[in-house]
Each structure stands twice: as structure tokens, then as C-alpha cells.
Amino acid sequence: MTDTLYRKLQEHLDRLPIGFPATPSGADIDVLRIMYEPYEAEIALNLTPEPVTAEILAGKMYTAKDELFESLENMAKRGLLMRIRIEGVPRYALVPYIVGSYEFQLNRITRDYNRAHNRLMAESMGMEVFSGKTSQFRILPVERSLEGNQAVLPHETIREYIKNAKKIAAVDCLCRLKAEKMGKGCGHPLRVCLSLNEFADYYLEADMPAEEISSEKALQILDECEKLGLVAHTQNAGDDIYYICNCCKCGCGIMGAVNMFGLHSQISSSTYVAKTDKRLCTGCQTCLDRCIFSARSIENGVAKVKKSKCLGCGLCKTTCPSGAITMEKREESRLPDVPADVQEMYDRIQIDKGKPVRILSLKTIKEGLKS
């Protein structure tokens, strides 16, 4: 009976633009069984990306409101749904697995969950995340690497996202935490993922390993991550973004997959690409160590850039001792096509994959509930 319930939940989640495909080994069911108690799976089956109050959901499920409210709040704390408050009233919505409930599992990382998740990614979820024309992820260039460039696009000024955020939370990196739990930690700092506005509220209220920080502290984190050679990435949208991650290839699932499987074209690059001045390059190989995308090589004593692998993070430029590297705007045919906001990103992915259920961005939800 419970297998049937979890299969229904898998099929329910798979209707979203970023779905939850079945696996040959049953890893998908194993993940759901670890995450959701049977009653919670029933609740999730009755949720959609359109947020509802506990009262409305109780009527739909023919159950007591108070009991359901307690379960919904518990599920919110455990990252199994999205809770958003409008004028103080909590509403609950279904979220995809990635980016979504998986990233909210910071308090529940166990060896059993890790093993099931890794099998899920290898068998089906990895292809789900990286398939389609529109990527969920976008590389943010180090702003120091763009000094001197004319007309830097607003969506690439990472510091503006920080300065304009109403609330910021520094959150432990799930990927590195997961690796540490498996005895494979890389030593890079944990609390360097930045959640903004409603996402910050969510992490803080759920008592996850997170802390509210000032914009000044967030900018310090960005500077420290740059020194360590961590790449900043966010949602593939020009506005209304929820998070900024600072990633390494050793622990990050996204960056690791890009390198391992050559998926450079499946993540949106920045507008810029690195270029080396042969006259100034000394062949010191500093840029090779800084590039996590394997876009660098040394030929005849000079650093070369493979443009198809360079995602424009700018980390090589900021540490080039001879000043041989510049960041130049890509050719028009290779410029990233960045959706205007998160809702447009989700809508493009839905069209790409032909999925029946629309994911709603937090901005769309707020505007809809207030209208």
C-alpha cells in the first residue's frame, strides 16, 4: 500500500517542469520514503505550486484543520514544502525536488539519504536537472574582473543583489555538508551560501544551519570565496533571484557534474569570456589552478582558453600575476539568453519539457495573493 502511495507522489512531482523521474532501481521511492511519512505523502499529493491555507487544504482532504496545520508546519520545518506568509497568514505550496526540497534537507543528511539521493541523481535526476534548453543555473562573474568593462549588465552585478535584499541569511552549503557526512569533505567553508528575502525567512524559521547577516557581511563572504577560488552561481534569471551559492568542483553537485560529464553548455555562462594576452603571459599556470571548469591549458608556454568551457566567472583574471587576462564580451551568437525573472525561467523550462504543471515563483505568488 505504501509503495503505491509513494509512486503516486513520484508521479505527482514529475508533473512539474523540473520533475522527479522514476528510476530502474527504485531509488526515487527510497528517497521519498526517507523524506516523507505516509501521512505527509498524502498531504503532498494534495498540494500544488499554488499556495493554499491549512483551512482550504483541510476542506480538500476532509480532515481536521488543527491536525493538518500541525503537520504542515512540521513539513515546512523539514523542507518538504514551501511556506509563505501573506499578511501574517501561512500558505503552503508544493516545490520541486531540485531546486527545492533537496536543498532544504540540511537538518536531515544521513548516510541512507545520501546513498539514495546519489543513486537517484545517477539514474534519472541528473538528466532531469540538465536536460532542456533552459538551464536553472547561471554563473555570476567576479565583479573585480569586470572593472573597466563598459555597460556591465544589471543582472551580473552580484553586489546589487546583496545591497537590494531586505533580508539575507548565510546558510551551510548542502553539497559540502553532504560530502562531510560521507567522509569526503573538501575543507572549503560551509556557511557561504546566501539566501535572500523570503528564502532567508524560510531557512531561518525552519531552524536550519543558517544565520541572518548584514549586507556588509554578505559582501565579505563573497570576497573570501573569491580568494578561495569558489565560483558564484544563482538562478538563471535577471531579477527576483532567491539565492547565491559559492561553489567548488570537489563538493558541489552542479559544478562537479559539469566537469565530470562535460555539461558546460547546460549551465548559463556569464556574458564574458576570458582572453589571454600572449605578450604578457608568463606561463605560470596560476590560471589553471583557479579554473574549476577545465577551460585552461598551457601551450608553448602560454595559457590558452577553450571558449566552449569558459563560463566567464573571472576568477582567473583577478589572480593573474602578470595582468595578461582580460574579460571580454562574448560574440553575439554566444551571448547567454537570460530569462527576465524566475517565473520566465520556470515557464521556459515547462515549455521545453512539455510538463503539465506550472511552477510559480515567489514573486508571482505574492502578486497573485495580493491582487
Strands (E), 94-190: 137-140, 168-172
Residue with grid cell 603571459, as numbered in its chain: 281
d(CA 12, CA 310): 37
CA distances from 136 to 44, 133, 247 (A): 23, 10, 15
Contact (Cβ atoms closer than 8 angstroms) between residue 275 and residue 325: yes
pLDDT tens string 124-172 = 999 999 988 999 999 999 988 887 665 566 677 888 889 999 999 999 9
Residue 109's region, left for phi above 0, alpha for psi from -120 to 50, else beta, is: beta
Kindly give, in sequence order, each residue whose CB lies less than 8 Å from that of residue 192, ignoring residues fewer than 6 positions away: 170, 173, 221, 224, 225, 230, 246
Tell me the domains of the chain and their CATH numbers: 2-128+345-370 (1.10.10.10), 135-334 (no CATH)
Contact (Cβ atoms closer than 8 angstroms) between residue 346 and residue 359: yes
Paired strand residues for 130 = none
Number of H helices, E strands in the chain: 16, 12
AA identity, residue 184:
K
- Give percent of the chain with pLDDT exceeding 70: 97
Q: How far is CA 296 from the centre of its chain?
A: 25
Paired strand residues for 15 = none
For the chain, report the end-to-end CA distance as a whole number of angstroms: 42
Q: What percent helix, strand, coil does the chain show, rounded to 5?
A: 45, 15, 40
pLDDT tens string 223-260 = 999 999 999 999 999 999 999 999 988 878 888 888 88
Kindly give, in sequence order, each residue whose CB lies less than 8 Å from that of residue 65, ignoring residues fewer than 6 positions away: 54, 55, 58
pLDDT tens string 42-68 = 999 999 999 999 999 999 999 999 999
Q: Which stretch of DSSP H or E encloses residue 211?
A: strand 210-213
Q: Provide the residue count of the chain.
A: 371
pLDDT tens string 277-307 = 999 999 999 999 899 999 999 999 999 999 9
Strands (E), 98-159: 137-140
Contact (Cβ atoms closer than 8 angstroms) between residue 209 and residue 172: yes
Paired strand residues for 85 = 90
Residue 10, all three cell numbers: 513520484
User: Residue 271 above 90 pLDDT?
Assistant: yes
Coil/strand/helix, residue 114: helix
Kindly give, in sequence order, each residue whose CB lies less than 8 Å from that of residue 238, ignoring residues fewer than 6 positions away: 154, 155, 338, 339, 340, 341
Q: Chain-wide mean pLDDT for the chain? A: 92
**Higher pLDDT among residues 70 and 147, named by residue:** 70
pLDDT tens string 7-40 = 999 999 999 999 999 999 999 999 999 999 999 9
pTM (whole model) above 0.75: yes
According to DSSP, the β-strands at 272-276 and 210-213 are unpaired
pLDDT at 366: 83
